[in-house]
Amino acid sequence: MSLSQELLDVFHNNLGHTTFTPVQQAAIPRLLSHSDVAVEACTGSGKTLAFLLPIFEMLNRDESDLDSSLKNGCWGSLVISPTRELANQTHAVASIISNALKMKVLLLTGGTKADKSDSVIADVSSSISMPWHLVVGTPGRISDVIERAGGRLVLKHLSVLILDEADVLLDLGFERSITSILKRLPKQRRTGLFSATQTSQVQALIRAGLRNPAVIKVQVSGADESSKSVVPSTLQNHFLALEPDLKLGALCTFLKKHQKDKLVVFFSTRASVDFFSLMIPLVSQHSKISSLHGGMPQRRRDRVYQEFVASESGVLICTDVAARGVDIPDVDWIVQFDPPQDPSFFVHRVGRTARAGKRGRALVLIHPKEQAYIHLLIARNVPIEEYPEGLTIDKEFDDVLDRCRKELFKDRDLLQKGTRAFVAFVRSYCEHKCQHIFKVTDLDLAKVANSFVLLRLPNMSELRVSKGISGFVEVPASQVVAIKFKDKTREKQRQVKLEAEKLENAQKDVELEEKKKAKEAQNRKHELHEMEQAKRKRKKQGTQKQLYEEWDSLGREELLYKKFKTGKISKEKYEANLALLEEDEFK
């Protein structure tokens, strides 16, 4: 079954496409023929239009029925995305199509914790305010809205469900939300699972949620028939082995070399993004640097994302929140400062470039003892070669860590962010899914600490398992305490806190001194008591000894007298011996 001319016109004129990609050619007819589909295709292959086009085609065909049957609170189709960014992107594309066809599309994504309650209420109100041809959203928010809307929301007319990036939906722990949503949807529907990889969890979901699905695996663009590569052939993928304390200088050199390019730089933790996105502009010549991670307020995330999408060059420092499904046009380079904790995310990270047949390049920085990771990638059909150009650190960045340290002494905020980033990195490394390769015991944590510009080591149990932390030289605690915040308000608050801690410590010292004196007095009293007891014991023992001696003397006198009375000794001898006994007693 084919698309109508009306939708083809939207595809060519409004969306600006001339031909269909392989995944679109394979998936669209299947969905239009009332089949469930499980689609596996590499990132950047056009999966979004592969499900949006058939959804709108089916809705457009049934438009007269929808107008008569759909009442306020009715949903015609549903697309579930793992992240807000991907949901926003899908909604943006869907809106272009829906505007041309005069249909209604609703976006349901979570916001910040501060406005969660109000935003959910607003989403519930929107969801029941009119019939919606298509709803796009994240699983948590969709589940929440369905639960809160209750009977005011009618899902019996929903004809299509799409799980976009299904493996990530499961990896991110959305099983409960997805299960809750599936229970509310009609069984007589078409379901599509779209993903770059088919994990065991996805296979289980296919068996549980799809009816006799058509399994579609689309070969990457440009690959020959014998190739099993899971990344586009237009991607040049490289690695570079460096010690941890050289990585920042190498990155700054790389950014200087590619100032006119558009780059996405991945770090393993949010704390690293916060730290390096502030530090790099201070020590490099690159000023067009922005940051993105899941802990940022939603409005800021949206603004950063939109600005970077619209820019022709610049650097986006981010976590894996930008690794899946997000379409950022014309990215020249993907740089992975840290390899991903989950190896499956490597493909999704590099998939932010070389999209839709365009060329792209990627570089991952690894520790020399992590080179087994390269063999793992190759075994997983990810072609990768050593960076052919080499990367000599520019003289300007030979002392980059020393310059970072100087910046640290100017602002306590950098000091705190660097320490948090180090702690988060070490813990992330300890939890790596490839622990046979990424062993914290193999890391020189002194060099890692220097790479985060630490002044003193934090107190964390993970450091006790390392063999190399002994090489780290700490700055005296007094110097660290003296570092001020650039923000005067924060510094004033810190000084107030320090003063309060000083008073508290002084009070504790007084209390400790009083406790010490009380304990000493108690000990002295105890000692005096023991001395008195010993004296009494000795006195008692002396009285008893004297009594025993007197009884002994009387016994000897009695024995001597018996000898005299029985005639065994003479009177003279008796008197002489008695005198001797008396003399012994006197002595």
Report the pLDDT averaged over residues 218-241.
72
pLDDT of amino acid 391: 78
Whether 468 shows a pLDDT value over 60: the answer reads no
Average pLDDT over residues 325-352: 89
Q: What is the CATH number of domain 235-402+432-442?
A: 3.40.50.300
Kindly state the percentage of the chain with pLDDT values over 90. Answer: 54
The residue-averaged pLDDT of 96-103 equals 94
Q: Is the pLDDT of residue 136 over 50?
A: yes
- Residue 116, pLDDT > 60, answer no
Helix, strand and coil in the chain, % to nearest 5: 55, 10, 30
Strand 314-318 relative to strand 235-241, pairing: unpaired
| DSSP character string of 474-512 | PPPHHHHHH---SSHHHHHHHHHHHHHHHHHHHHHHHHH
* Of 218, 222, 227, residue with least CA distance to 358: 222
pLDDT at 353 over 70: yes
Nearest to 291 by CA among 267, 264, 318: 318
Q: Is the pLDDT of residue 556 over 70?
A: yes
pLDDT higher than threshold 80 for residue 534: no
Give 351's pLDDT tier (boundaries 50, 70, 90): confident
Q: What integer is the mean pLDDT of 158-186?
A: 87
- CATH (one of 3.40.50.300, 3.40.50.620, 1.10.540.10, 1.10.1380.10) for 5-218: 3.40.50.300
Q: What is the mean pLDDT of residues 569-574?
A: 84
Region 332-357 average pLDDT: 89
pLDDT in tens, 191-206: 999 987 777 777 777 7
Q: Residue 98: which residues within 8 A CB-CB, separation 6 or more?
A: 56, 104, 105, 133, 134
The whole-number average pLDDT for the span 154-173 is: 86
What residues contact residue 288 under an 8 Å CB cut-off, 6+ apart? 311, 313, 314, 315
User: 3-state DSSP call for residue 334?
Assistant: strand
* Residue ranges per structural domain of the chain: 5-218, 235-402+432-442, 487-541, 548-587
| Residue 530: pLDDT band with limits 50, 70, 90 | confident
Please report the pLDDT score of residue 212 as a whole number: 83
pLDDT of residue 388: 83
Give dist(CA 252, CA 240) in Å, integer: 15
pLDDT at 463 (0 to 100): 80
Of 160-164, 266-270, 391-395, the range with the lowest mean pLDDT is 391-395
CA angle 50, 146, 71 (to 5 degrees): 80
Residue 13 is given by DSSP the state: I
pLDDT tens digit sequence for 421-461: 999 999 999 999 899 999 988 889 999 999 999 999 998 88
Average pLDDT over residues 36-43: 84
Residue 391 neighbours by CB distance under 10 Å: 18
**pLDDT over threshold 60, residue 587:** no
Query: Are the C-beta atoms of 277 and 481 separated by less than 8 Å?
Result: no
Would you state the pLDDT for residue 232?
A: 81
Nearest to 31 by CA among 85, 81, 79: 79
pTM metric for this prediction: 0.73
- On the question of pLDDT at 111 being above 70, the answer is no
Question: Taking all residues of the chain, what is their mean pLDDT, rounded to a whole number?
Answer: 87
- Identify the CA nearest to 30 among candidates 214, 219, 195: 214
Alpha-carbon gap, residue 86 to 323, rounded angstroms: 10
**Residue 327 pLDDT > 50:** yes
Residue 64: predicted pLDDT: 44
Q: What pLDDT does 233 receive?
A: 82
235-402+432-442 shares the fold of 5-218: yes
Both tokens of 135, joined, read: 């709803």
Q: For 59-82, what is each residue's pLDDT tens digit?
A: 888 754 545 556 788 999 999 998
Reply yes or no on whether the pLDDT at 290 is more than 90.
yes
422 or 586, higher pLDDT:
422
Who wins on pLDDT, 285 or 477?
A: 477
